[in-house]
Amino acid sequence: MAEFPTAPGEVDSAWLEAQLGKAGLLGPDGNRARIADFTWVAIGTGQVGDTARFTLTYDQPCAAPATLAGKFASADPTSRGTAAAMMLYVKEVGFYRELAAGIAVRTPKVYAAEINAEGTDFVLLFEDLAPERGGNQLEGCGLADAEAAIRQAAALHAATKGHPAVLGADWLHGREGLLAEIGRLYHQAHRVFRERYDGHLAADAMALCDELDHRVERWLGRQPEEPCLIHGDFRLDNMLFGVGQGAEPIAIVDWQTCAIGCGMTDVGYFMGCGIGSDLRRPNEAALLGLYAEEMARHGAPIAQDVMLRRYRIGALHGLFTAVFSAAFVVRTERGDANFLSMARGAAELALDHDSIAALDDLMENGQC
């Protein structure tokens, strides 16, 4: 085995015991139990990482967890190559190593966070949050779930706004030339997206994809006025509801796209491709009001006009992500449905708020 297991089938009892020992859950301090056996099953629907749940049995009664969750690089070479090139694995491991413990957002406790020098193999070993249900992009959610997510977004953005540990994390800035490379690849992705989904997306939504393609360098080059940590993929598939068999309302997972940016990028993304127009339109004002209230409660108030201006721009993030991701991860039936759902909701939000015009206005100062 390598320095760390790179797939669920490479995990063994000795490695699991070592990680639980470092966490103080097994070891000499009165807890001398050993793992007698374990099994694993694949869980989740991620397209750039493989996740498994491990069920452990011990040789004597103990307080160590009966289940754990592990995350590894995707077994699919296309998804794996995309993730490595975009530094997705580097970012997620960096988040859990350096930032997760210091922010007021519910994330799984991590027991191991390892990555190789090339950023192509990694392992994360987590507590199993045992949610009542995982968020499902294609099924949507109710208002209470959307409110719980908005509260988490505000907690993340308020706690990290201008924070030196966040702004100074080199791995969050990406490697030199990455944005220019993403811009070049985006034009290729747009061609793939248009060819693949033409006729499956409303004409005005596909036209909006074309408009964003014409402006993608402008989109990528914008600078946040008040930089903070953003999740980057803040949607239902990356949320767990009823954590700990209902003891907590929500947890946020899958931090591979975390970055330094504008907080309203997460909010616009969630409101568009996250919850969809049927829930968003009648509740949009109230949800944005909740975000402003929570930001103020956490000591980082945001003015209404500023929030709405940034929200119009953030609405485009869902469209950008759907178009780009569809071309560079392994294609699946659920993936197609997912990307179309994301693009449809994001486009409807962006059209409702004339986000392309807002992006054009942004050229005056280059900030969001």
The pLDDT tens digits of the residues spanning 274-322 come to 899 999 999 999 999 999 999 999 999 999 999 999 999 999 999 999 9
Helix or strand or coil: residue 200?
A: coil
Rounded to 5 degrees, φ, ψ at 224 are -75, 140
Strand partners, 54: 40, 68
Q: Any idea which residue has 């598939």 for tokens?
A: 237
Q: Per CATH, which fold does 133-362 belong to?
A: Aminoglycoside 3'-phosphotransferase; Chain: A, domain 2 (3.90.1200)
H/E run at residue 6: none
Contacts of 252 (CB under 8 A, 6+ apart): 105, 106, 107, 152, 156, 231, 234, 238, 239, 240
Q: What would the two tokens of residue 274 be?
A: 């996250």
CATH 3.30.200.20 segments of the chain: 8-127
Strand partners, 367: 223
| Residue 323: per-residue pLDDT | 96
Band the pLDDT of 77: cuts 50, 70, 90.
confident
pLDDT at 341: 94
Q: Where in the chain is the domain with CATH 3.90.1200?
A: 133-362
CATH number, span 8-127: 3.30.200.20
CA of residue 265 relative to chain centroid, distance: 12
pTM above 0.85, yes or no: yes
* 1, pLDDT greater than 60: no
The span from the CA of 113 to the CA of 249, in Å, is: 25
User: Residue 17: in which H helix or E strand, if any?
Assistant: helix 13-22
Window from 204-208, 222-226, 286-290, 363-367 with minimum mean pLDDT: 363-367
Q: What is the pLDDT of residue 60?
A: 92
Please give the angle made by the CA atoms of 275, 279 and 281, to the nearest 5 degrees.
Answer: 110
Cβ distance 149 to 137 under 8 Å? no
> pLDDT (tens digit, 9 = 90+) per residue, 200-212?
999 999 999 999 9
Task: Give the percent of the chain with pLDDT over 70.
Answer: 96
Instruction: Please return the burial class of 236, using the count of CB atoms within 10 Å of its CB with bins 0-12, 13-18 and 19+.
Output: buried
The confidence score (pLDDT) of residue 174 equals: 79
Share of the chain above pLDDT 90, in %: 78
Please report the DSSP string for 37-65 in residue order: EEEEEEE---SSEEEEEEEEEESS--SS-
Q: What pLDDT does residue 177 have? A: 86
Confidence at residue 296, expressed as pLDDT on a 0 to 100 scale: 98
175 pLDDT tier (thresholds 50, 70, 90): confident
Task: Check residue 30 and give its pLDDT.
Answer: 55
Q: 29: pLDDT confidence band, cut at 50, 70 and 90?
A: low
Indicate whether 79 pLDDT > 90.
no
